Amino acid sequence: MNYKKQIVFKKTMRVLLLSLFFSSVISYSQSDKFFNFYLDNLEGLNKVYNKDFIIGSAVSYKDINNPKLSKLIKKHYSSITAENEMKPEALLNNDGSFSWKKADAIMEFAKENDLMVRGHTLIWHKQTPDWFFKDINGNLLEKEKLYERLYEYIKAVMTRYKDVSVWDVVNEAISNDHNSDEIYRDKGSMWYQICGEEFIEVAFRYAHSIDSTKKLFYNDFNLTKPKKLRKTIKMLKSLISKDVPIDGIGIQAHLFVYDSPKLLDNTLKNFSKLNLDIQITELDLSFFKGGDKRMHKDFVFDKEQELNQAKAYESVFKTLKKYSDNISAVTFWGVSDLHSWLNYKPVEGRRNYPLLFNDDYLPKFSFFSIYNLK
- Give me the active site residues, please: 172, 282
For 221, residues 6+ apart whose C-beta sits below 8 A from its C-beta are: 172, 176, 252, 254, 282
Tell me whether the omega of the peptide bond preceding residue 346 falls within 30 degrees of 0, making it cis. yes
Strand pairing class (54-59; 79-82):
parallel
First and final CA of the chain: distance in angstroms?
Answer: 24
Query: H or E element: which one contains 235?
Result: helix 226-241
> Which of 152, 158, 50, 71 lies closest to 107 in space, CA to CA?
158
Q: How far apart are CA 164 and CA 60, in angstroms?
A: 16
As a whole number of angstroms, the distance between CA 329 and CA 278 comes to 8
Positive or negative: CA dihedral 316, 304, 359, 294: positive
Distance CA 223, CA 210 (A): 29
